[in-house]
Structures are given as structure tokens and as C-alpha cells.
């Protein structure tokens, strides 16, 4: 690895019981953009190992409902967190997510990232592909007015993706949380005010 894995956020996560340093990214972004409120229904795409699920359920509270799905297994998190091992792109698994939520989602989160090849253009293309996939899933799961948080890599090609998000959401902003590793090109789009699938 080119970065130092045991940095301050890594150590903080270990000390405070979070499964990944990425938990602090969601804490910052959710607070800044008011993405998750008490009682919300939240979906986390690519949820393993579960750091974002831990934060999401803290923010949604005991009356909220959180569903995490990943191709990898996810250890149980809390009573009101449903974890699934499956492919969120399939209609079958989207139906299972909807069933677990009991109603359309208030927020859909995606921290999906490609397996890096070291070839910049290929990695960026794959990252944007994953972001578009997450956007499509969010359109299926969100209630009108809901929010969407998605990770991708900084690139010129993101202007087109930003415009795609603007077609479906009232407000779209980009951000780079403090817990992002030094040297990383990842950024997040926070999209709020879902216009509905007919938009």
C-alpha cells in the first residue's frame, strides 16, 4: 500500500468501535447535508464491512430502518439493521430491499469503489460506472424528496455525471470529507430532493 493504513482515523475507528475509518466520512457528510434523520429508512450499497451501517443506524435511531447489501457477507450490526449478501443491481434483490424497508427509502448511500488496476483512465471509468449503477438503484428505491450519497473519483468526466444527477434531484453538491486519505482522488456527490421516477 502506498498510504499509511494506521493513520489517525484508522486508530480512532478502532478505539471507538467502528468497523472502518470510512465511518467518519459518513458522519461528516450526513451532518453537513442532513441526509439521515431520526426515523429514516436508509439503504447502504456495498455495505461491507459495516462502518457506514453503524453510523446510519445511530443517525436513524431506534425508529429507523437500515438495510445494507454487499456481495461480501456483513456481520450483524443492530436489531433494526438488515444485512444482505447479494447483488443490488438485480430486480430480485431490489425487491428484497424494499420488503425489508417496508416503504420507499429516505436515503440511499453508496461507498462502492472499483478494484484498482493502477491504470488511471480504467479506474476512473469503472468508478463512474459504479456511480451510475448506484444512481439507477437509488431511482428504484427512493421516495420523492429523498437523498442520495455516492462516491466516485475526481475526473473531468464527472461533469456529465453531475448533470445526470441534476435531472433527478433538486440539489447536487460535491464534497471531500476530512477523513479521506491523503493522496486519494475520491469525492462524494450529495444529491437531495429526489424528483421521483417519472422525472
HEC profile of 71-96:
CCCCCCCCCCEEEEECCCCCHHHHHH
Indicate if the pLDDT at residue 5 is higher than 60.
no
Which of 11-25, 54-68, 155-169 is the most confident on average?
54-68
Rounded to an integer, the average pLDDT of 105-133 is 90
Between 19 and 152, the higher pLDDT residue: 152
pTM: 0.91
> pLDDT tens, 126-139?
999 999 999 999 99
Between 134 and 178, the higher pLDDT residue: 134
State residue 6's pLDDT score.
63
Whole-number Å distance between alpha carbons of 150 and 26: 11
Query: For the chain, where are the alpha helices, taking DSSP H only?
Result: 8-16, 23-33, 51-60, 91-101, 120-141, 158-168
> Which residues form the catalytic set?
151
State residue 11's pLDDT score.
78
Indicate if the pLDDT at residue 1 is higher than 50.
no
Which residue pairs from 31-35 have beta carbons closer than 8 angstroms and sit at least 24 positions apart in sequence?
Answer: 32/175, 32/190, 33/147, 33/149, 33/173, 33/175, 33/190, 33/192, 35/107, 35/109, 35/147, 35/149, 35/190, 35/192
Indicate if the pLDDT at residue 48 is higher than 80.
yes
Torsion-angle region of 48 (φ positive above 0: left; ψ -120 to 50: alpha; else: beta):
beta
State residue 38's pLDDT score.
97
Where does the pLDDT of residue 91 fall: very low under 50, low under 70, confident under 90, or very high at 90 and above?
very high
Q: What is the overall mean pLDDT for the chain?
A: 90
Cβ neighbours, 10 Å, residue 158: 19
Rounded to an integer, the average pLDDT of 120-128 is 88
Where does the pLDDT of residue 198 fall: very low under 50, low under 70, confident under 90, or very high at 90 and above?
low
| Phi, psi torsion values for 91, nearest 5 degrees | -60, -35
Rounded to an integer, the average pLDDT of 148-153 is 94
CATH dotted code for 8-194: 3.40.50.150
| Phi, psi torsion values for 49, nearest 5 degrees | -85, -5
Indicate if the pLDDT at residue 99 is higher than 60.
yes
Q: How many percent of the chain have pLDDT more than 90?
A: 71
Amino acid at each position: 500500500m502506498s498510504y499509511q493504513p494506521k493513520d489517525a482515523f484508522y486508530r480512532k475507528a478502532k478505539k471507538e468501535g467502528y468497523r472502518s475509518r470510512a465511518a467518519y466520512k459518513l458522519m461528516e457528510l450526513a451532518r453537513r447535508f442532513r441526509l439521515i434523520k431520526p426515523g429514516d429508512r436508509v439503504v447502504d450499497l456495498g455495505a461491507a464491512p459495516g462502518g457506514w451501517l453503524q453510523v446510519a443506524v445511530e443517525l436513524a435511531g431506534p425508529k429507523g430502518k437500515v438495510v445494507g447489501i454487499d456481495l461480501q457477507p456483513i456481520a450483524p450490526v443492530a436489531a433494526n439493521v438488515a444485512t444482505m449478501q447479494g447483488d443490488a443491481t438485480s430486480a430480485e434483490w431490489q425487491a428484497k430491499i424494499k420488503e425489508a424497508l417496508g416503504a420507499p427509502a429516505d436515503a440511499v448511500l453508496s461507498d462502492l469503489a472499483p478494484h484498482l488496476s493502477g491504470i488511471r483512465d480504467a479506474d476512473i471509468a469503472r468508478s463512474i460506472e459504479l456511480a451510475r449503477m448506484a444512481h439507477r438503484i437509488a431511482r428504484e428505491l427512493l421516495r420523492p424528496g429523498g437523498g442520495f450519497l455516492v462516491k466516485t473519483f475526481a475526473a473531468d468526466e464527472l461533469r456529465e455525471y453531475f448533470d445526470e444527477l441534476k435531472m433527478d434531484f433538486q440539489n447536487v453538491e460535491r464534497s471531500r470529507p476530512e477523513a479521506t486519505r491523503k493522496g486519494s482522488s475520491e469525492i462524494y456527490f450529495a444529491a437531495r430532493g429526489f424528483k421521483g421516477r417519472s422525472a
